[in-house]
Amino acid sequence: MTKVAILGIGTVGSGTADIFQDNADLIRKNVGDDVEVKYILCRRMRPDSRFAPRIVLDFDVIERDPEVKVVAECMGGVDPAYDYVARAIRAGKHVVSSNKQLVAERGLELTHLAREHGVAFLFEGSVGGGIPVLRPIMRCLAANRIDSVYGILNGTTNYILTEMIQCGKSFGQALKEAQEKGYAEADPTADVEGIDACRKICILSDMCFGYNVDPAQVRTEGISKIASVDVDYARRMGYRIKLLGRTLRLPDGRVTAYVAPHFVDMENPVVNVDGVLNGIVIHGNAVGNTVYSGPGAGASETGSAVAADILDCLTGPMDRQPIWEAQPEGYFMDADELACRWFVRTKAGLAEIGEAFGSVRFVSIPGGDPEEYAFSTEEMSRKRLMEVGAGMGLLAAYRILDE
């Protein structure tokens, strides 16, 4: 019998433990041996839990037990998760994680540490929840040069925007409902300000392009400033507003990444990914666009990805082990320099708009503010947009994604 340990019994930890308990026969068939969750690390005892006999309070117990072959880190955050993961790797144990902050901020060190010690460090559950996306990058798309990745990477913000678009709710109303339904935390900052999506796009960039991208480098905008009128303008133009994380390889070999609300064309494969679902588009130079959609969070959903990583560790741990390098000088380009078309809303006058932006296409909506003008621009960088729009009292500016 093979023994594993889980760190944390929150949403993902409990979901992972449930899978090993409930799908024991299937797991035995796939692995060729019984797999038992021997320990679950918690901060306190939980006598009412179905896993109470397996709960321990001291990581040392797990670290020193030679029977434990795989450790699943489902705690979240960097401290003490990083310390526990590093110690487990040094003890010769494979580690899997669903912790996007840990992987985004310390994945460079941990992937190299795992290789040094001949064990695996896998983290499928850190991006896209239950959606298989990192394995396809490493395996199915291995013969492709990946040119770009973008997508809806946060179910909370996608739910809020769906309610604003489909039901006409304000941001505040939709957020409150998301919190009542358990989709958003009491403090929703990491979700609604794009921080969660930023961590995930960093991991995707690392995996696809081979060099580390620090979340601190990534321009990140959330959805808290989106007004209902912007939803109406998007609809009028044939778009929907989606919060996207995006990373792409530039013609000169540099890479950029950012998170921002976009006006997304109605033909785009992610435009109808609604509610708490995630949707990711990966472009390979040979295959073109491949699309991945499904539940981006949840106990059993993310637990499914964690459990699959554990099984990989037990059957083929070093098969395309993810690893990336520190970025060389000049590798990363600030997304402010990336050119695209923009939707802009302002109270500036027509002459001022024409002088600043040149050729634009105006758009109006029934009942719109007569003192405002809304229009789409030709391609320009965000840096240029801010320069020409300085002093004009820009009320909103959104990237337009037509691809």
Residues making up the chain, counted from first to last: 403
Q: H or E stretch including 2?
A: strand 2-7
**How far is Cα 273 from Cα 155, in angstroms, rounded to an integer?**
10
**How far is Cα 151 from Cα 164, in angstroms, rounded to an integer?**
19
Distances (CA, A) of 394 to 153, 345, 368, 397: 27, 6, 16, 7
Q: Which residues, listed in sequence order, are joined to residue 5 by a DSSP beta bridge?
A: 39, 71
Whether residue 215 is preceded by a cis peptide bond, meaning omega within 30 degrees of 0, is no
User: In Å, how far from its chain's centre is CA 263?
Assistant: 19
CB 39 within 8 A of CB 7: no
Residues 6+ apart with CB under 8 A from 280: 128, 131, 133, 149, 150, 151, 152, 153, 204, 270, 291, 292, 293
**How far is Cα 79 from Cα 88, in angstroms, rounded to an integer?**
15
User: Which residue bears the tokens 């990058």?
Assistant: 137
200 tagged catalytic: yes
Strands (DSSP E) contained in 74-196 are 94-97, 121-122, 146-152
Q: In 3D, which of 371, 372, 375 has the Cα closest to residue 363?
A: 375
Distances (CA, A) of 270 to 265, 349, 363, 399: 9, 35, 24, 16
User: Which residue bears the tokens 């820009």?
Assistant: 394
Give helix 81-90 / helix 100-116 axis angle, nearest 10°: 20
CB 292 within 8 A of CB 128: yes
CB atoms within 10 A of CB 83: 11
Active-site residue, from 38, 93, 100, 200: 200
Q: What positions carry a catalytic annotation?
A: 200
